[in-house]
C-alpha cells in the first residue's frame, strides 16, 4: 500500500496545472534584461544590453533609484514573441531573466528611453509591460505613481499617455475596496480614464495604445488612449468605473474585447506630436520606504500598433474558461513515462490457476530478489511481495 501511495503521489505531481496555448505577438523591441547581475546599479549600458529588437533609442538615462532586479518568477511571456524585421522568435515561457527595479522611496525618478528613427516619427503606438506593484495600499506619502509613460514632447507640447497607479485617496472617481489600488491612464490636459482595481504586491500585465495623431485611427478619435490589465497568467480584468470604460469592437488593428468593459478609455485634449521618449519608474510624488517595484519584459510596437499588444489564447475553450483553469492535458501523467520493469517475472498465472498454484508462486516470489542500480552507483537489494487473493 505504501508503494501504491508513492506511485499515486508521483503520478499526480507530474500532472501540470497549466496547459494553455497562446498566439505569437510581434514587437519592435523587448527589454528582457538578459544581462548583468541582480543588485547592480542600473546604467544606460545595461539597459541597452538588455534590449533586443529595433530599439531606436538615441540615448538612455537613469538614476540611482534603479537597480537590476531579480526575476520575480511571475512575468514570463505567455506566448511567443517575434521581433519585427528579423527572424528572431522567442518561444513561450522563455523570457525569465532580470528586470528593472526601482526603490519605491524615490519620487520623480525615471529611466528615460529617448527614441529616434522610425519610432520618433510615429504618432500611434502600442506598449505592454508586466509590473510587480511594490507599495501596499495607502502606504507612504502622496497619492499617485506615474509608472510607465509614452511621451510626445516636440515643440514643448508635453503630450503623454501615462500608466498611473493611485492609492485610495487618489482614486477620486470611485474608491477601491480596502487593500486595493486603482490603475488608470492619464493624458494632457490632466484627465483620467476609467479604473481597474488591483491588489498591491502582485504582478500584472498592462497593455495600452495611444493615437496621438490628429486623425481618427481604427475608429478612435485623435488623442484616444486605451488600456487593458491582465493578471500574470493572462486573465483579463474588467474596468470598473461608470465612466471611462468601454467594450471594444474589432476595428483595424484593434481587436474586439473578450469580456464586458475590458477597456479603459480616455480621449485627451492635447495631441498631434510624434513620439519622443518612454519613461519607466515614478514620475509623481508618491513614496514608500522598504518596497521595490519591478518592470519585466517591456515591449513596444510602433510599426503596426495593434491593441491589445498581448497574447490571444488559442485553445478551444478560449474566452469561455479563464486561462489558468483550462488545460490541454498534453503532459498529464508520469513524465517521461512509466519506467520499464527491471525485476524478473516469478511466474505467469492464468485464469485457470488453482489456489495452491497461486500460494506456491507467492512463496517463490518472496524469495526472488534482484539488484537495482542506483544513481549514486550503489546497488540496492529489493523484493516485490505478491498477495494471493481467493478466487470466487
Q: What is the pLDDT of residues 292-348, one digit of tens each?
A: 999 999 999 999 999 999 999 975 555 556 555 565 555 566 655 666 665 666 666
CATH class of 25-312: mainly beta
Q: What is the pLDDT of residues 107-116, one digit of tens each?
A: 999 999 999 9
Q: What is the pTM of this model?
A: 0.78
Dig out the grid coordinates for 280 from the structure.
519607466
Query: Rounded to the nearest 10 degrees, how much is the dihedral formed by the CA atoms of 215, 220, 224, 228?
Result: -150
**DSSP string of 318-379?**
TTTS-GGG-B--TT-SSSS-PPPP-SPP-----TT--HHHHHHHHHHHHH--EEEE-TTS-E
Q: Where are the domains of the chain?
A: 25-312, 342-392
Q: Is 7 a residue whose pLDDT tops 80? A: no
Query: Which is more confident, 324 or 349?
Result: 349
Q: What is the pLDDT of residues 246-292, one digit of tens each?
A: 999 999 999 999 999 999 999 999 999 999 999 999 999 999 999 99
Q: Give the pLDDT score at 151.
A: 97
Where b means 16+ CB within 10 Å and e means fewer, 148-186 reads bbbbbeeeebebbbbbbbbbbebbebeebeeebbbbbbb
Amino acid at each position: 500500500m505504501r508503494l501504491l501511495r508513492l506511485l499515486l503521489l508521483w503520478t499526480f505531481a507530474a500532472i501540470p496545472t497549466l496547459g494553455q496555448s497562446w498566439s505569437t505577438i510581434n514587437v519592435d523591441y523587448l527589454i528582457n534584461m538578459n544581462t548583468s547581475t541582480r543588485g547592480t546599479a542600473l546604467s544606460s549600458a545595461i539597459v541597452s544590453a538588455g534590449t533586443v529588437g529595433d530599439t531606436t533609442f538615441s540615448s538612455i538615462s537613469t538614476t540611482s533609484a534603479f537597480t537590476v532586479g531579480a526575476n520575480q518568477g511571475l512575468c514570463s511571456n505567455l506566448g511567443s514573441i517575434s521581433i519585427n524585421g528579423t527572424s528572431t522568435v522567442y518561444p513561450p515561457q522563455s523570457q525569465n531573466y532580470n528586470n528593472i527595479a526601482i526603490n519605491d522611496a524615490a519620487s520623480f525618478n525615471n529611466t528615460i528611453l529617448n527614441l529616434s528613427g522610425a519610432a520618433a516619427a510615429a504618432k500611434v503606438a502600442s506598449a505592454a509591460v508586466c509590473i510587480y506593484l511594490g507599495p501596499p495600499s495607502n502606504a507612504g506619502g502622496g497619492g499617485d505613481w506615474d509608472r510607465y509613460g509614452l511621451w510626445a514632447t516636440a515643440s514643448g507640447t508635453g503630450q503623454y499617455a501615462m500608466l498611473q497607479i493611485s492609492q485610495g485617496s487618489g482614486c477620486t472617481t470611485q474608491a477601491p475596496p480596502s487593500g486595493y489600488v486603482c490603475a488608470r491612464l492619464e493624458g494632457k490636459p490632466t484627465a483620467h480614464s476609467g479604473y481597474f482595481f488591483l491588489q498591491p504586491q502582485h504582478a500584472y500585465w498592462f497593455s495600452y495604445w495611444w493615437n496621438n495623431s490628429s486623425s481618427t485611427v481604427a475608429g478612435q478619435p485623435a488623442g484616444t488612449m486605451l488600456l487593458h490589465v491582465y493578471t500574470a497568467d493572462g486573465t483579463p480584468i474588467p474596468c470598473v468605473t461608470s465612466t471611462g470604460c468601454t467594450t471594444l469592437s474589432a476595428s483595424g488593428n484593434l481587436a474586439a474585447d473578450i469580456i464586458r468593459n475590458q477597456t479603459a478609455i480616455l480621449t485627451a485634449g492635447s495631441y498631434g506630436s510624434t513620439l519622443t521618449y518612454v519613461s519607466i519608474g515614478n514620475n509623481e510624488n508618491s513614496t514608500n520606504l522598504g518596497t521595490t517595484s519591478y518592470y519585466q519584459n517591456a515591449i513596444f510596437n510602433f510599426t503596426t500598433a495593434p491593441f491589445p499588444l498581448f497574447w490571444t489564447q488559442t485553445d478551444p475553450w478560449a474566452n469561455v474558461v479563464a486561462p489558468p483553469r483550462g488545460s490541454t492535458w498534453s503532459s498529464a501523467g508520469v513524465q517521461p513515462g512509466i519506467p520499464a520493469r527491471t525485476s524478473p517475472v516469478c511466474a505467469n498465472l492464468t485464469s485457470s490457476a488453482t489456489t495452491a498454484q497461486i500460494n506456491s508462486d507467492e512463496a517463490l516470489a518472496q524469495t526472488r530478489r534482484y539488484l537495482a542500480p542506483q544513481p549514486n552507483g550503489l546497488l540496492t537489494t529489493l523484493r516485490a511481495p505478491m498477495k494471493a487473493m481467493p478466487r470466487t
